[in-house]
Amino acid sequence: MTVDYDRLQQVLSNLISNAAKFSREGEFVEVKGVRRGDYARVSVVDSGSGIPKKFQERIFTPFSQADTAESRKKGGTGLGLNISKRLIEGMGGSIGFRSEEGKTTCWIEFQLADTEPQRIDDQPSNEPRRLSGLHLKDDHDFAEILHTGLENDVHLVNETTLAGAKRRLQERAFDIVIIDIGLREGNDLELIDAVPNPDKTKIVVLIAVDEKIDNAYVDLTIVKSRERRGETIAGIIGLLKSARDA
Ligand code: ADP
């Protein structure tokens, strides 16, 4: 993947300045780059107060700042991360974070230029590779959990709208497509019609209530529940492993 140098720098300076801004005096901010399979990830880690849980789902919306004395004191516009997300996703990458008190990691990730995405069927079976996944979501909190849970097996790209997800499918191949219809009324299942190779792509539908999804291409339907998040992730990993071993 080719990225625009200036825009990448703009995003990194936003992440680094946030990390510095929310750190306590004398603390270090760590910037690290790692290669994860076909992807390069740059993470900015700080040991500050963390992003409040309640605020996390709004962090990428324009003009949003955590409602804390610290945020108010430190100023800013609440636009930086919104712009960063648009720039990174516009260049085909993804951006995310994980935060708890005392440790916040914000990261960006891009597919490396000379690695074409392979399909499950093309891989040598003794060499597990990170797969690529598309996740159409309506629930930010759950998206982060899925992202983290599948991290070692799947590189997940998130899209919040059907149109955005369809666009992604036109751009490149995915091994797995996860449609998180949650409580949203709508036509998100139309995404299945936009999958170029539905019989070769694993399609998972996450639903909020137990109902039957009537579509022959759906490999797995999971009823989402806060208590059984681990099972949801285990179910998806199981499906991917069985596809790999088949
Ligand atoms: P700005 O920093 O200009 O207010 P951003 O969009 O970059 O806007 O950040 C939005 C908000 O997210 C910040 O005001 C802060 O509340 C929270 N935030 C971002 N990064 C961090 C971080 N590393 N630690 C704690 N809070 C953060």
pTM: 0.60
> Does 159 share its domain with 197?
yes
What is d(CA 198, CA 216) in angstroms, rounded to the nearest whole number? 10
What does the mean pLDDT of the chain come to? 84
State phi, psi for 135 to the nearest 5 degrees.
-125, 115
Answer whether residue 121 is part of any domain: no
23-33: average pLDDT: 93
122 in any annotated domain: no
Q: Is residue 88's pLDDT more than 60? A: yes
113, amino acid identity: A
Residues 56 and 145 placed together within one structural domain of the fold:
no
CA 104 from centroid of its chain's CA atoms: 16
106 plus 167 within the same structural domain? no
Residue 30 lies in a domain: yes
Same structural domain, 86 and 150? no
Of 12 and 208, the structure prediction assigns the larger pLDDT to 12
> In the chain, pLDDT over 90 holds for what percent of residues?
36
Residue 156 and residue 63 share a domain? no
Considering the domain architecture, whether residues 169 and 100 belong to the same structural domain is answered as no
More confident residue, 225 or 217: 217
Residues 60 and 155 in one domain: no
75 and 169 assigned to the same domain: no
pLDDT at 37 over 80: no
Number of domains in the chain: 2
Q: What is the pLDDT of residue 123?
A: 47
Q: What is the mean pLDDT of residues 18-42?
A: 91
pLDDT one-digit tens code per residue, 108-157: 999 887 655 544 454 444 555 678 889 988 666 677 777 777 877 888 88
Residue 118 lies in a domain: no
Q: What is the pLDDT of residues 157-198, one digit of tens each?
A: 888 889 989 999 988 889 999 998 876 667 899 999 999 989
- As a whole number, mean pLDDT of residues 11-24 equals 94
Q: What is the pLDDT of residue 190?
A: 93
Instruction: Give yes or no for residue 222 CB within 6 A of ligand 1.
Output: no
Please name the residue whose Cα sits nearest to atom 2 of ligand 1. Answer: 76
Which residues constitute the domain of residue 210? 131-245
CATH number for 186: 3.40.50.2300
22 lines ligand 1 (CB under 6 A): yes
| Phi-psi region at 125: left, alpha or beta (left = phi > 0; alpha = psi -120 to 50) | alpha
- Same domain as 225, residue 159: yes
Point out the domain boundary residue: 111, 139, 170: 111
Among 81, 95, 100, which is best to mutate for testing ligand 1, by the most ligand atoms less than 8 A from CB? 81
Task: Using the 3D structure, point to which of 111, 142, 165 is the last residue of a domain.
Answer: 111
Last residue of a domain, one of 111, 140, 166: 111
Same domain (yes/no): 194, 144: yes
What is the pLDDT at residue 237?
Answer: 84
Q: How many CB atoms lie within 10 A of CB 107?
A: 17
- Looking up residue 41, the CATH number of its domain turns out to be 3.30.565.10
Average pLDDT (71-96) is 86
- Calculate what percentage of the chain has a pLDDT beyond 70: 87
Q: How far away, in angstroms, is 38 Cα from ligand 1 center?
A: 29
**Residue 1's pLDDT is what?**
67
Does the residue 203 lie in any domain? yes
Pairing of strands 154-159, 131-136: parallel
* DSSP reduced 3-state for 246: coil
